[in-house]
Amino acid sequence: MLQNKITILISFLIVGITYNAQTPQDFGKEIVKTLASPSFFGRGYVNNGSQKTANYIENKFKEYGLKSFNNKYQQYFNINVNTFPTVVDLSIDGKKMITGKDFIVEPVSGSSKGKYTLLWIDSTNFPTIIEKMKSMRIGSSTAFVLDQKGIHNKDTLALFQEFKYYLSSLGPVVTLEDKKFTWSVGHQNAKHAIISVLRTKISKSNKEITLNIKNKFEENYTSSNVIGYVEGRCKKKYLVFSAHYDHLGMMGQDTYFPGANDNASGTAMLLYLAKYYSTHKPKYNIVFMSFGAEEAGILGSKYYTENPLFPLEKIKFLTNLDLAGTGDEGIKVVNGTIHKKEFKKLAKINLEKKYLQKVHFRGPAANSDHYWFTQKGVPAFFIYTLGGIKAYHDVFDKSETLPLTEFTDYSKLLIDFLDKL
Ligand SMILES: [Zn+2]
């Protein structure tokens, strides 16, 4: 019996020691690895990835002892999204292409299945092709390749884009990508498939493509914001940390977008701070807002600002964290030019404590969840890390290549900054 008790005591001690030894960076790595793993399905709208992530965050909030507003951690809202939950296959002259690497479906793509003959449209036959098409026999087995290389005139380019959507009402459309794919979430869908193929994978000598692409338009898909808080010594004012947890989800059943930097990293920072403040009682109440559907058009935070859980005027300051995984070249502060006093505080702390290489500022931008708060007059920063990996909105934004080197210093900077607010 006694031996059992000693064993239990020792294991408690060991757990205690390892727990204390965990650095913010270790903590961040663990969370990023989890959220960017295949079992969260890219935190989008296939296989309930988004909802699974929200539940994971709610459980973390409960584990840290965070309080909730109105006895609920999740605030639900509905969105319309175009998804690709089943098959996304493409072959060019019989050669199978790799989803996410050789090609992507465009966010607004519809479905197409079958073999199609390629009709190549580029600077040599555009826009005369528009006239010619009237007399051409465009069968149901034609796919249009739109190659905009060499078209520089702004108006012609705009026409080319418009033409793309017109053509997608006739048959599948293939566009060409010169650099890297950057995916997003669509809110409508074309009649046929629209695919973007790497230029190196297709040429004018190719004759035929085989497609099996199936989209599913989800109307009124339920997403949620996860919100909890730590009570401060002064209960009248609120400081807010926000970070979106959602990402782009899946493209078929074999390809997912891990979103390690965007924004498993910001979510990891949010959770780290939630855990930290749950054992370090802050001056003011600190609210942790983990928003859904940011990638779908900043919709979670929009819904929140229209349905706030406490008056928005009570927010003394909001710090939005989106892309927190690098920092080799410092951080950038959106709204740094409008909240000069706060920006100076942040830059001064960083300089004195030598946390990050540099704190850069820029003006307002509608590029993450802080935006709707700024619109409603809530003082807010959106901070993102600079340098390091270039993967963004593609299949390469993985936890394996995101070292979180500055995560610990970044977390200290945020804690010191909050102290001065
Ligand atoms: Zn993001």
Given a contact cutoff of 8 angstroms between Cβ atoms, the answer to whether 225 and 130 are in contact is no
Say how many Å lie between the CA of residue 40 and the centre of ligand 1: 16
> Using 50, 70 and 90 to split pLDDT, how confident is the model at 12?
low
Give the percent of the chain with pLDDT over 90: 86
| 407-420 and 24-35 helices, crossing angle to 10° | 110
Say how many Å lie between the CA of residue 384 and the centre of ligand 1: 9
pLDDT at residue number 139: 73
pLDDT at residue number 135: 75
Cβ neighbours, 10 Å, residue 53: 27
Say how many Å lie between the CA of residue 356 and the centre of ligand 1: 21
CA–CA separation, 76 and 137 (whole Å): 50
DSSP codes, 346-385: HHHHHHHHT-SS-EEEE---SSSTHHHHHHTT--EEEEEE
SS3 70: coil
Q: Which residues pair with 242 in a beta bridge?
A: 289, 320
Given a contact cutoff of 8 angstroms between Cβ atoms, the answer to whether 211 and 83 are in contact is no
Say how many Å lie between the CA of residue 101 and the centre of ligand 1: 21
> pLDDT (tens digit, 9 = 90+) per residue, 313-372?
999 999 999 999 999 999 999 999 999 999 999 999 999 999 999 999 999 999 999 999
CA–CA separation, 287 and 202 (whole Å): 50
Say how many Å lie between the CA of residue 322 and the centre of ligand 1: 5
What average pLDDT score do residues 370-386 get?
98
Say how many Å lie between the CA of residue 294 and the centre of ligand 1: 7
pLDDT at 279 over 70: yes
Given a contact cutoff of 8 angstroms between Cβ atoms, the answer to whether 384 and 332 are in contact is yes
> Using 50, 70 and 90 to split pLDDT, how confident is the model at 13?
low
Say how many Å lie between the CA of residue 348 and the centre of ligand 1: 27
Domain 88-213 = CATH 3.50.30.30: yes
Say how many Å lie between the CA of residue 367 and the centre of ligand 1: 8
Q: Which residues pair with 311 in a beta bridge?
A: none
CA–CA separation, 400 and 19 (whole Å): 23
Say how many Å lie between the CA of residue 245 and the centre of ligand 1: 8
pLDDT at residue number 173: 97
pLDDT at 5 over 60: no
pLDDT at residue number 3: 54
pLDDT at residue number 132: 81
Buried b (16+ CB within 10 A) or exposed e, 299-336: bbbbbbbeebbeebeebbbbbbbbbbbbbeebbbbbbb
What average pLDDT score do residues 54-80 get?
98
pLDDT at residue number 11: 56
As annotated, the residues of the chain forming the CATH 3.50.30.30 domain(s) are 88-213
> pLDDT (tens digit, 9 = 90+) per residue, 207-233?
999 999 999 999 999 999 999 999 999
Say how many Å lie between the CA of residue 413 and the centre of ligand 1: 21
pLDDT at residue number 128: 83
Say how many Å lie between the CA of residue 295 and the centre of ligand 1: 7
Say how many Å lie between the CA of residue 167 and the centre of ligand 1: 32
Per the prediction, the chain carries an average pLDDT of 94
Say how many Å lie between the CA of residue 254 and the centre of ligand 1: 23
Say how many Å lie between the CA of residue 311 and the centre of ligand 1: 26
> pLDDT (tens digit, 9 = 90+) per residue, 143-164?
999 999 988 899 988 988 888 9
Say how many Å lie between the CA of residue 226 and the centre of ligand 1: 16
CA–CA separation, 88 and 57 (whole Å): 30
CATH topology (fold) of 24-81+219-420: Aminopeptidase (3.40.630)
Say how many Å lie between the CA of residue 276 and the centre of ligand 1: 23
> pLDDT (tens digit, 9 = 90+) per residue, 68-91?
999 999 999 999 999 999 999 999
Pairing between strand 234-244 and 173-177? unpaired
What average pLDDT score do residues 362-388 get?
97
As annotated, the residues of the chain forming the CATH 3.40.630.10 domain(s) are 24-81+219-420
pLDDT at residue number 183: 97
What average pLDDT score do residues 64-70 get?
97
> pLDDT (tens digit, 9 = 90+) per residue, 21-43?
799 999 999 999 999 999 999 99
- pTM score, whole prediction: 0.92
Return the structure tokens found at 1.
Answer: 């019996």
CA–CA separation, 135 and 69 (whole Å): 65
Say how many Å lie between the CA of residue 263 and the centre of ligand 1: 5
